[in-house]
Structure 1
């Protein structure tokens, strides 16, 4: 997906971070970080697999299941000698564990007594993984380095940004597909199917990938909870729904959310939507290099407070390359206390939705921080969409 030179730049930045963290060996379990460093891309993260970076060696190791080794050869820039695989007897075994194999390999290479970073809070590094490494590497000092590669990833290259621009076109097409399909008498799952088709079809010039999260399209009172999926119920006149989806190109995501009303938009939904769009406009105007994530959140809070509203959850987070179950980078969040300074080539999902006891309204934008301000990845109409109800004759 990238030039070998770009991968080497990423490796060097990762090694610099390793020195800051005080680790000589880094065991990477997060598939997003594995792909970022090596290019490895496969739906194999349901078994244990790692990329291991050595601060004093040029190439990392890929260690995974035997049947996935060929995939590593085909998708990474690594030499064949640095692609190591464990036999199938380690897969979901009650006797042995893949981290036993990893520990043996590190010990064999003379790295068994190093200061070793592990990704303690990643979805894919379990308590069992840590236990087996502690047993297999008794002389090593295991340290939490969970955000190390993630923080390298927050600065996007021109190629990464171009991929995200493609993802933006995909999410616009997918949202339009939802608008075209939704309506009274249509089942929720049919809208989800239309979205998914558009996400994977992409465009006439480039295709789309599967996204890290499924379409989240709650309806009616269920919009009070933003992360609900679809059912097979039919929409009816008067229903309002929120649609949060993403476009994905070469694993790079651009999310977007919009709100739809089937028939006339209820006044209370329209009011909340106006508060959100006004807040988005004022918030985007202050986003530029030198501003902190906390200041972005404060701008939003002040804007909606003028209308008598408040929101306690964060209003955005960094985005980029990702695998299920999340499209966030797990680094910067727009909320009180996050004093990270915005810099050029950072990318974010600004998600200032409002959720109440009986309904919610979601309107979001994904943005790129430029030298002077921000670039919105999409230009899709933010206003709540009123889908006409076709009367049967």
Structure 2
């Protein structure tokens, strides 16, 4: 069924072939996982239904696949093997992740073929989660609610550095049935919270610090992602104002999500509220990203996409305000678009919270 949907997307774009080398997408389509490293690994889809999986002899196949395999060794001319699949009438879609070290020599071998970016053929199928995928996303987010609570309680003790807290995350996720983190966790104290992608260091908490906690786990092949911001021992009037502004924007954006609403309009809703509060450049990222097998999948909740929301989409809503040298606030949930609205997958409280006074 998934392959059929991708083939329909290829037909819309008049592609005779599609090269897919993203391991996550290949697994999604044929239920086979591989981590190829630097070696060429790809699924070649053809409009005539004659699909092939190109595999290095070093790869391990642990079950039968209902697709033809083309095996090659390190000493074989594997690009020529791929080029032999095409003729002059070909229009070839290329995976956005296909390395230039493969693509450019291939283009020289079949210079009479037409090449174009073809990832959307798969991306548009992946962005609509089926019922099983939806359930896994719900379960993954429930686990994330439990984990963020543990992390906040650890931070409340006030005796660990950012790095020390971050290092505990993988074990906590594993305890709850996840493989581990779905991305490098962010635990940022005080002024470090103004760095969107801060890497935990030896910073220690002091009274009045905000704590930005952006974490996710990998559960049965699907990713969770959420952010909560809390305050240690006390909160200043300015911090409170910024927090309530971000929360207002986040709730308003979630409230407008339903099929037919444009992604860019959801972004604008949150951005306008934060701008009304006096902050513009301080909200310096997209409102959200799509998520599923990968923590960041194709498509954004941003001004770059006027795509209409559809039932089955899952994406984040995560406005933030970042004041360099002072503090940062970000609040993030994942949402699942339903028939007439959306289901917010994270239920952990979002009201302003001060910790460390118990």
TM-score normalised by L of structure 1:
0.83
Q: Does 1:104 align with 2:72?
A: no
Equivalence for 2:12 = 20
User: Is 1:30 aligned to residue 4 of structure 2?
Assistant: no
1:67 alignment partner, SS class: coil
Alignment counterpart, residue 69 of structure 1, candidates 42, 57, 60: 60
Look up the match of 2:233.
263
Structure 1 gaps of 5+ residues are 1-8, 91-99
Q: 2:171 aligns with which of 192, 197, 201?
A: 197
Query: 3-state DSSP class of the match of 1:314?
Result: coil
3-state SS, counterpart of residue 48 of structure 2: coil
Q: Alpha-carbon deviations, 1:270-291, whole Å to 9, x = none?
A: 2211111111222222111111
Shift of 1:146: 2.8
Q: Displacement of 1:168 after TM fit? A: 0.6
Pick the aligned partner of 1:78 from 38, 56, 65: 65
CA contact (8 A) 2:312 2:338 kept: yes
How far, CA to CA, are the matches of 2:232 and 2:73 in structure 1?
55
Aligned to 1:225: 195
Q: What residue is the counterpart of 1:154 in the other structure? A: 127
Are 1:375 and 2:349 matched, yes or no?
no
1:251 aligns with 2:221: yes
Contact 1:174 1:196 in 2 (8 A): no
Unaligned runs of 5+ in 2: none
TM-score normalised by the chain length of structure 2: 0.90
Tell me if the contact between 2:169 and 2:181 (Cα under 8 Å) persists in the aligned partners. Answer: no
1:294 match: secondary structure: helix
**More divergent stretch after superposition (12-21 vs 60-69):** 60-69
Q: 1:281 aligns with which of 235, 251, 266?
A: 251
For 2:231 and 2:5, the matched residues in 1 are separated by 47
371-380 or 191-200: which moved more?
191-200
* Secondary structure in structure 1 of the residue aligned to 2:187: coil
Structure 1 residues 64 and 263: CA distance shift in structure 2, 3 A: farther
Q: Is the 1:258–1:384 contact (alpha carbons within 8 Å) kept by the matching residues of 2?
A: no
Residue 302 of structure 2 aligns to a residue whose secondary structure is: coil
1:173-197 deviation line (CA, Å, top 9, x unaligned): 2212211222322122221122221
Match of 2:103 in 1: 130
For residue 112 of structure 1, report the CA deviation from its aligned partner: 4.6
Q: After alignment, is 187-196 or 273-282 more displaced?
A: 187-196
Residue 353, structure 1, aligned to residue 320, structure 2: yes
Q: Which residue of 2 aligns with 1:174?
A: 147
SS state at 2:70 partner: strand
What does the per-residue CA deviation read over 1:114-145, in whole Å, with 9 as the maximum and x for residues that have no partner?
221112x32xx222121121133334322221
SS of equivalent to 1:217: strand
Residue 200 of structure 1: SS of its match in structure 2?
helix
* Equivalent residue in structure 1 for 2:334, among 332, 345, 366: 366
User: Tell me, what secondary structure is at the counterpart of 2:132?
Assistant: helix
Match of 2:92 among 116, 137, 151: 116
Give the RMSD, CA atoms, in angstroms: 2.2
* Structure 2 CA distance for partners of 1:385 and 1:18, relative to 1, 3 Å: same
1:198 shift after superposition: 2.1
Cα deviation 1:247-304 (Å, max 9, x = unaligned): 3223222210011322212332222111111112222221111111121122213323
Q: Compared with structure 1, are the counterparts of its residues 246 and 55 closer, same or farther at alpha carbon in structure 2 (3 Å cutoff)?
A: same
**Aligned residue for 1:316?**
288
SS state at 2:216 partner = strand
Q: Secondary structure at the match of 2:10?
A: helix
Shift of 1:172: 1.4
- The number of equivalent residue pairs is 353
